[in-house]
Amino acid sequence: MGDHRQPSGTFQTPGDHFDEQAAETAMRGPAVIKRYQKTLPSAPGVYRMLDQNSDVLYVGKARNLKNRVTSYTKFGGHTHRIAQMIAATAEMDFITTQTETEALLLEANLIKRLKPRYNVIMRDDKSFPYILLKDDHDFPQVLKYRGARSQPGRYFGPFASAGAVNRTLNTLQRAFLLRSCSDSVFDARTRPCLLYQIKRCSAPCVDYISKEDYAKLVHETNEFLSGKSTQTQSQLSKLMEDASAALDFERAAGYRDRIKALTAIQTRQAINPENTEEADVFAAYADGGQVCIQVFFFRARQNWGNRAYFPRHDKSDTIASVLDSFLAQFYENKEPPKLILISEQTPEQSLLSEALSIRSDRKIEIGVPKRGERKDLIEHSLKNARDALARRLAESKSQRQLMEGVAKTFRLEEAPSRIEVYDNSHIQGTNAVGGMIVAGPEGFQKNQYRKFNIKSESLAPGDDYAMMREVLRRRFSRLNGKPQESEEEQSKEDVEKFGVRPDLVLIDGGPGQLSSASEIMEELGLSDIPLVGIAKGVERNAGREHFYMTGRAPFMLEPKSPVLYYLQRLRDEAHRFAIGGHRARRKKSIRTSTLDDVPGIGAQRKRSLLNHFGSARAVKSASPNELAGVEGISKAMATRIYNYFHEDA
């Protein structure tokens, strides 16, 4: 594999006279691409098209780089989107590969990492959960697992969601009575926990089951998750009959409950294939300029859930091309099953099958079923894709109407595409955290949320105005190129994310908070960004909110107004997010603080001090008598703590 980067642009000799706009245009487009084309090899590889700021516009792969790039040098014959991309291209990067399949995998990797403007982008690329049956203990544990498969044991999945895993785990607990507790909890037990009482664990921690009998339960679990549920149920039925014949009705009832648990999970499945043991099913449906790709996971002849994706793409892209790009990105970091079923043929179908087979070291088949059970799976998935897209389009329409209502309420020139909402959370000024949430036409944008740990030690405890000023200064200083954080604290992604300008900023609070926010925005030269304060009325009742804007009298909205409900949701989400950050910081401060360095202070005393005073700073300022008033702190210990913090006084 080789990397080729060539300089771009035109050169001027002293004394040349030229039109700057013409020169700038000449440094982009087909003329620039043509310079690269002359020296490119006729080999497979990946190319990147960049604009004049070196931002990646597009990532593509080619069987023959020279021929592929040559197609971009021709005038005419391109869609409007491709023509725009070519016109904006100021430079290119190239990586040659040994084969086209290698180029396909590299292209998918780069698209997911760089997210170029003109590529189809798979959104919501979260890792899928698995069920892990750990086998590094005499009594194996069953649990939900995400991440790299570094733990010893057998993995079953992927499952489409945490909910699908939780439902299956719930069934496994009732059917097979395996432990779900950690090894440390298991080793510390002296009596059975609640799960044993409600018949969801066999209590191996207190030897209520032998190692041999527990191993049988593990084997049955393995069989069930491997698709042999029928055999497992038959075995349990025989055991139930034997117990009944022996008049051991309590044991028979236990087997009966386990059989019912297994039956429940099978009847909950919307569709269970009999002849398809392992497959991923992809069905793509387009409407309203959007594409929904519904993915179903079938393992062990069971439906392990589904998830809908809405990839970012240009309206001119065909369903086949969107599905093609999506598949390559989907499996860029996931292990594919032996069979992948898709709703229609794609241009790179055979190439992707070859690439995945090479990477997985086993044959991976990608096909479009024409009849039978597999065709039914596609039809079922297509229906789900159609329904999911219809819901999304309806929600988008409703959301657009809400955005227009917000614009009318706050007298904005147009509907906002990015709303930022701010709130603070603390207890008497300790562990203060500022929260920022982001919402737009597509709802809450949770990957844009940000927590700000209040850093200034000069703030008076509980000074909400000063906290708000710090949060806004740190957030919006990025917008004018003067970040408050050091370079070490900022990632490139972070800078790009918070370099985006909001159309509306909402502050949880009244005139005081609004005044503090306006002061910072004016200081940073951003006073043109609309600011609104939201405060509950005197009686603190939802629905009686007052809205504050600079240069406008406070006002309220109709109690049943959809816009009011929407703004309440935004305010409540910001409040929830800020409180979550505060609680996490407070929990961490209890675990680690300056009190850890005080001789004789262990976890229990530290917890007592922090619960009593609220913060390590307050402990440091306390007198010996005040310290001695804390439960578990003797007078001698109080003196030792006081002297530790005041030895230089």
Please tell me which of 185-189, 269-273, 365-369, 589-593 the model is most confident about, judged by mean pLDDT: 365-369
Predicted confidence band at 611 (pLDDT cuts at 50, 70, 90)? confident
- Give the pLDDT band of residue 57 (cuts 50, 70, 90): very high
* pLDDT band at residue 7 using 50, 70 and 90 as cut-offs: very low
How much is the pLDDT for 260?
A: 64
Q: How many whole angstroms separate alpha carbon 210 and alpha carbon 281?
A: 42
Section 32-45 average pLDDT: 88
> How far apart are the two ends of the chain, measured CA to CA in Å?
65
Query: What are the tens digits of pLDDT across the range 450-493?
Result: 888 877 666 666 678 888 888 898 888 877 655 555 433 444 44
Say which range, 49-58, 196-205, 520-529, 530-539, has the weakest mean pLDDT.
530-539
- Mean pLDDT to the nearest integer, 295-314: 86
pLDDT score of 585: 65
Structure tokens at 367: 């096909």
Quote the tokens at residue 319: 């369903």
Query: Quick one: pLDDT band at residue 549, thresholds 50, 70, 90?
Result: very high
Q: Is the pLDDT of residue 314 over 50?
A: yes
Torsion over CA: 245, 247, 249, 255 (sign):
negative
Which residues are within 8 A (CB) of 464 and not within 5 positions of it... i.e. 6 or more apart?
424, 509, 512, 513
Q: For residue 554, is the peptide bond before it cis, meaning its omega torsion is within 30 degrees of 0?
A: no
Residue type at position 435: G
Pick 622 or 3 by higher pLDDT.
622
pLDDT classification of 125: cutoffs 50, 70, 90: low
What is the model's pLDDT at position 124?
67
Q: Is residue 355 predicted with pLDDT exceeding 60?
A: yes
- 283 pLDDT tier (thresholds 50, 70, 90): very high
428: left (phi over 0), alpha (psi -120 to 50) or beta: left
Of 124-138, 226-240, 405-419, least confident by mean pLDDT is 226-240
In the chain, the percentage of residues whose pLDDT exceeds 90 is 27
- Model confidence at 586, in pLDDT bands (50, 70, 90)? low
Query: Band of the pLDDT at 304, cuts 50, 70, 90?
Result: confident
pLDDT surpassing 80 at residue 273: no
How many C-beta neighbours within 10 Å does residue 555 have?
A: 11
The whole-number average pLDDT for the span 219-230 is: 74
The average confidence (pLDDT) of the chain is: 81
Task: State percent of the chain over pLDDT 70.
Answer: 82
Q: Which of 190, 208, 48, 79 is nearest to 139 (CA)?
A: 208
> Which of 172 and 415 is assigned the larger pLDDT?
415
pLDDT at 242: 72
DSSP 56: E
Determine which of 129-143, 149-163, 339-353, 401-415 has the lowest per-residue pLDDT on average: 149-163
Say yes or no to pLDDT of 340 above 80: yes
Query: What is the rounded CA–CA span in Å between residue 245 and residue 386?
Result: 53
**Confidence at residue 495, expressed as pLDDT on a 0 to 100 scale:** 47
Query: Residue 2, class by beta-carbon neighbours within 10 Å (0-12 exposed, 13-18 middle, 19+ buried)?
Result: exposed
Instruction: Using pLDDT thresholds of 50, 70 and 90, give the confidence band for residue 11.
Output: very low
What is the C-alpha to C-alpha distance for residues 320 and 285, in angstroms, rounded to an integer? 10
- Judged against a pLDDT cut of 60, whether residue 438 lies above it is answered with yes
Long-range contacts of 261-267 (CB under 8 A, 24+ apart): 261/171, 261/174, 261/175, 262/171, 262/175, 262/224, 262/229, 262/232, 262/233, 262/236, 263/233, 264/171, 265/167, 265/168, 265/171, 265/302, 266/229, 266/302
Grouping H, G, I as helix, E, B as strand and the rest as coil, residue 279 is strand
| Average confidence (pLDDT) over 242-246 | 72
Going across the sheet that includes 154-156, the strands are 142-145, 130-133, 154-156
Average pLDDT over residues 205-230: 83
Question: pLDDT band for position 648 (50/70/90)?
Answer: low
Whole-structure pTM value: 0.64
| For residues 518-542, average pLDDT | 82
Q: Which residues contact residue 379 at a Cβ distance below 8 angstroms, ignoring those fewer than 6 apart?
A: none
Residue type, 177: L
- Encoded tokens for 145: 């697992």
How far is the C-alpha of 425 from the C-alpha of 583, rounded, in Å? 9
What domains sit in the chain, N to C, each tagged with a CATH number? Answer: 2-114 (3.40.1440.10), 130-268 (no CATH), 279-391 (3.30.420.340), 419-583 (3.30.420.340), 592-645 (1.10.150.20)
pLDDT of 270 reads 47
Contact 258, 175 (CB under 8 A): yes
What integer is the mean pLDDT of 536-548? 70
In whole angstroms, give the CA distance from residue 130 to residue 141: 14
Give yes or no for residue 175 having a pLDDT over 70.
Answer: yes
pLDDT given at position 184: 84
pLDDT, residue 407, reads: 94
Q: What pairs with residue 434 in β-bridges?
A: 424, 452
* 93-102, 163-172, 248-257, range with the lowest pLDDT: 248-257
- Locus of tokens 């979550």: 580
Q: CA-CA-CA-CA torsion for 385, 389, 392, 397, nearest 10 degrees?
A: -170
pLDDT above 50 for 14? no
Closest-CA residue to 378 (of 308, 284, 268, 274): 284
Q: CA angle at residue 502 from 530 to 398, to 5 degrees? A: 95
Higher per-residue confidence, 197 vs 284: 284
